[in-house]
């Protein structure tokens, strides 16, 4: 299937939206409207409808979100408004104009009690999401599915990249400031490089797929293992010590295990994303 010719990308100035915009703009014959939150408030239904009506996209990619997980605990109403109701507004506008939709969600919709990678059909539901961020993103999934039944919903995890605050950037900074890093070792997931995730969105845009997809870089690790790999690949000598989640309390509860089964994406796209260590190497080369 050919790539859509008119693509609207929301959240286009963010960690994922920036490389997604770059990738689609590089595609021959594709016109892109890339909007950030300052010029495109996804919670303003009238403004969203006006923009969609004026641009008339063939595809909408919703990367816009309130992603500060701990801040969502105190600002849960804002999280619900942006991640939940705003996502639904974008979905409804896309559906009204006959545009396809790719909406980006999160592993935090799960409770972390699984012992093997989560499939797309694993039960979610508000009692299962552990934090306000996860519940707001689950609300968004529900409202997107109701407003645009043919939408693609991409759940991903532990996203990092050059275009915003992220875990590797923080670790690199702290490794230069502290004699020792202490990082939790009892939460397991899959680090996902934003450039690779943008590529997966591009691949899905070229299909007639619908429904939920899990997309991360291949492999899994703990936050401690991720931090240790960052320090090692960066050639830094700062020691990294494993600790328990209880030793590093944060406002929002995180799932202990949130590895996502990428099987459906692999079947659709024909190949998985590369291993997370390989993706990290590229990030560090670009960030240096």
Residues designated as active site: 133
d(CA 92, CA 45): 9
- Tokens 């936050």 belong to residue: 223
DSSP 109: G
- Where would I find the beta strands (DSSP E) of the chain? 6-10, 31-35, 59-62, 100-106, 152-156, 159-160, 181-184, 188-189, 192-193, 211-214, 221-222, 240-243
- Tokens 């670009």 belong to residue: 286
Distances (CA, A) of 259 to 97, 112, 165: 35, 9, 22
- Reported as type and span, the H/E element at residue 87 is helix 87-96
d(CA 165, CA 85): 25
Task: Name residue 102's beta-bridge partners.
Answer: 61, 152
């Amino acid at each position: 299937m050919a790539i859509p010719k008119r693509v609207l990308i929301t959240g286009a100035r963010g960690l994922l939206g920036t490389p997604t915009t770059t990738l689609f703009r590089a595609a021959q014959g594709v016109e892109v409207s890339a909007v950030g939150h300052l010029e495109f408030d996804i919670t303003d239904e009238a403004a969203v409808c006006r923009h969609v009506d004026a641009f008339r996209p063939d595809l909408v990619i919703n990367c816009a979100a309130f992603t500060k997980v701990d801040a969502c605990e105190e600002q849960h109403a804002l999280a619900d408004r942006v991640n939940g109701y705003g996502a639904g507004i974008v979905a409804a506008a896309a559906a009204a104009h006959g545009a396809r939709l790719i909406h980006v969600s999160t592993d935090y919709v799960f409770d972390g009690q699984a012992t093997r990678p989560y499939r797309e059909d694993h039960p979610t539901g508000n009692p299962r999401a552990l934090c306000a961020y996860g519940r707001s993103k689950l609300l968004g999934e529900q409202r997107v599915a109701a407003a645009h039944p043919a939408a693609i919903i991409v759940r991903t995890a532990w996203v990092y990249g050059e275009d915003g605050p992220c875990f590797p950037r923080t670790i690199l900074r702290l490794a230069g400031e502290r004699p020792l890093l202490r990082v939790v070792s009892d939460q397991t997931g899959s680090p996902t490089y934003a450039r690779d995730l943008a590529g997966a969105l591009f691949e899905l845009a070229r299909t007639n797929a619908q429904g939920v997809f899990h997309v991360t870089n291949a492999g899994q690790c703990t936050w401690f293992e991720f931090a240790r790999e960052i320090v090692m690949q960066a050639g830094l000598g700062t020691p990294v010590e494993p600790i328990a989640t209880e030793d590093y309390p944060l406002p929002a509860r995180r799932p202990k295990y949130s590895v996502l089964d990428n099987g459906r994406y692999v079947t659709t796209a024909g190949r998985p994303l590369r291993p997370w260590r390989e993706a990290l190497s590229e990030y560090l080369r670009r960030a240096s």
